[in-house]
Structure 1
Amino acid sequence: MLTTTFTRTLLLGAAALCTMAGSAVAAESLNIYTTREPGLIKPVLDEFTKETGIKVNTIFISNGLEERIRTEGENSPADLILTVDIGRLQAAKDYGVTQPVKSEALENVIPAAYRDPEGHWFGMALRARVVYASKDRVKQDKFTYEELADPKWKGKICSRSGQALYNISLFAAAIAHMGEDKAEQWLKGVKANLARKPSGGDREQAKDILAGVCDIGIGNTYYVSLMRNGSDAEQKKWGEAINVILPTFEGGGTHVNVSGLALAKYAPHKANAVKFMEYMVSDESQRIHAEANSEYPIKAGIAIHPTIASFGELKADNVPIAEIAKLRKKASEMVDTVGFDQ
């Protein structure tokens, strides 16, 4: 009987140790749900794992990320949400699938204009919505967003859908600057200047400029770097055919958007998730991210990708991203009201 009891005790102890060891291993991991192609963030993830020993698992979800996490509920393995555009970050908060983070490391680096006032999301990098201009046919090197509605550009502007996330944020910024009525008149003017029905992505706007379909387009900065520095010979031609002009709002600056992070509501590895968020604003991470993704670092003093830097000094607009998020619904309705995509 004594031998049997002793054996059972040993077995129970071994089982407990195995359970604890398994828990420790599980704790050294991190699950990121992302709308970004994992390859774009792999350099940062690899460096984080190298520094911390925490294994990062990425789950790529192009659409419906918020719905999936909400459906998974308390059983969701998601620790972090990594996505682009304030619309997606705010949607995650509105869906109730995030939780606030209080971190001096984040708040000391990220300007208040680029994070949620309640701590539900944080911008990690910036991208500007700018003018692509034909090198051959457009001689001016300065623009205001208001000028896009000037009749002198009638039949000369290309754009992707007005309902595209990046355009909705730009139009929301226009509402913030002009007021709803003037912004609607402005958007009607931009529509009147379109050379064709809105279509394609930002790269296609550069393609059509090269083809002579239009003289100017609306697009994000990083696409130009990806075209010029990528391996696709055709896209390289598109990127080289345009100048990038950083427009400003009258009385404001260049519209910027963010790529950012939010802590999932039921994050099973919360400590690791916060550690990753704080790592993302370190000098090394900001440098790697800026180089790999051709985005503006959120942290001051970090070198900008050479192609992006060649566009000139970015004077970012002063409207907080959270305020733009509140106006996105009105902007979307306005796109339909003026028939922008028709």
Structure 2
Amino acid sequence: MTLRMRILTAVLSTSVALPVASAALAEGEVNLYSSRHYDTDEKLYSDFEKETGIQVNRIEGNADELIERLKAEGANSPADVLITVDAGRIWRAADADLLSPVESDILEERIPAELQHPDNLWFGFSTRARIIFYAKDRVSEPPQTYADLADPKYKGQICIRSATNIYNLSLLASRIAENGPEEAEAWVEGLKNNLARQPQGGDTDQLRGLVSGECDIAVANTYYFARALRIEVDGLSEGTDGIGWVFPDQDGNGTHVNVSAAGVLTNAPNRDNAIRFLEYLSSDSAQEYFASGNDEYPVVEGVGLSASVTQLGTFKRDDLNLHALGEFQTEAQNIFNTVGFK
């Protein structure tokens, strides 16, 4: 039976009651609840199966829905590992006591300290940077820092997603952690005053705004642009030559990053296999697949970058522990609401 045929399937919705699943106790399997959905992951999983003999089963869905499912399943959950594509949601799982500490010398040695939970509840396995893009023919002096995005000289030029977006909540949470809430609120006020339009759409739409001329400056995650360099993205790929980019704060704290992360669940029926799977994700070969599958940066030093990411270049990363992105998430949303940033 192929791996794809073995994928556990479910219709996930928070608007209906979630069934309680029976625990899977087989020693030769690991059950993943994952919000990743990339075709390249198929080889990632099949290689793990070949190396270990451990069968991979998974449910894929929205992270918030998966977390609610885990709460409903409780001790009867078959899930061993939760994978999310941002630090904010893995924090929500940890905050709900769904994750358990993992003691692993391999993970401690290979994953940078700032990309793992302080108590080893989760580990990051790929990163993406939230950076500044700009139209090269219209912006001669682009912002060099996140603070610059609030400079009045950029009034009417900036496109960015809404305040409820987890990536923007995480970015603001990092500013609260590093500069305090008063500075963070003033920054949001200045950013709001510099918007070219009301926040709308996803990161790709902010980049499309540069091509269409609706925006001169856009804030987006690196992988959205790298993807447009690798494959055809309507309304963006044809204009990438006219777009420049800045990794902010290279002379300061470094550029803000987010992670795709995973943790072992508190009620994992196959705990040893789950830890082995996380350790596998930190291997050089798995790192290449895990990161390149979404045009991201691997977390393990020395692992090569994909062709699309190589074009963006390397950068100095902010070393703030990403646990803070969740810790200050509610405060970040309150600041957005206070300022009236939609």
Instruction: Name the SS for the 2:110 alignment partner.
Output: coil
Question: Given the alignment of the two structures, is residue 247 of structure 1 paired with residue 255 of structure 2, yes or no?
Answer: no
Shift of 1:238: 4.9
Letter in 1 for 2:155: K
Shift of 1:252: 0.8
How many pairs does the alignment contain? Answer: 318
Question: Given the alignment of the two structures, is residue 114 of structure 1 paired with residue 115 of structure 2, yes or no?
Answer: yes
2:165 is matched with: 164
Provide the rounded CA distance (Å) in 1 between the counterparts of 2:127 and 2:178. Answer: 20
Deviation larger for 85-94 or 131-140:
131-140
2:186 is matched with: 185
On the 8 A contact 2:157/2:194 being kept in 1, the answer is: yes
C-alpha spacing 1:133/1:117, structure 2 compared with 1 (3 Å):
same
On the 8 A contact 2:144/2:249 being kept in 1, the answer is: yes
2:4 is matched with: none
- Which consecutive segments of 4 or more residues in structure 1 shift more than 3 A? 231-235, 238-241
1:224 is matched with: 225
- Give 1 or 2: higher helix fraction: 1
Shift of 1:334: 0.5
TM-score w.r.t. the length of structure 1 is 0.88
Instruction: Name the SS for the 1:39 alignment partner.
Output: coil
Instruction: Name the SS for the 1:188 alignment partner.
Output: helix
Provide the rounded CA distance (Å) in 1 between the counterparts of 2:267 and 2:25. Answer: 19
Letter in 2 for 1:306: A
1:299 is matched with: 300
1:81-115 residue CA offsets vs partner (Å, 9 max, x unmatched): 00111111110011111111110000001111111
Letter in 2 for 1:45: Y
Shift of 1:215: 0.4
1:54-84 residue CA offsets vs partner (Å, 9 max, x unmatched): 2211201214211110100111111100011
Deviation larger for 135-144 or 113-122:
135-144
Shift of 1:338: 0.6
Aligned pairs for 1:1-342 (under 5 A) are: 26-62=26-62, 63-140=64-141, 143-248=144-249, 251-341=252-342
On the 8 A contact 1:114/1:320 being kept in 2, the answer is: yes
C-alpha spacing 1:96/1:40, structure 2 compared with 1 (3 Å):
farther
C-alpha spacing 1:147/1:160, structure 2 compared with 1 (3 Å):
same
Provide the rounded CA distance (Å) in 1 between the counterparts of 2:250 and 2:229. Answer: 27
Provide the rounded CA distance (Å) in 2 between the counterparts of 1:313 and 1:133. Answer: 18
Provide the rounded CA distance (Å) in 1 between the counterparts of 2:239 and 2:227. Answer: 11
Letter in 2 for 1:204: D
Shift of 1:158: 0.2
Letter in 2 for 1:205: Q
Instruction: Name the SS for the 2:293 alignment partner.
Output: helix
C-alpha spacing 1:239/1:91, structure 2 compared with 1 (3 Å):
farther
Provide the rounded CA distance (Å) in 2 between the counterparts of 1:28 and 1:240. Answer: 49
Give aligned-pair identity as a percent. 40
5+ residue gaps, structure 1: 1-23
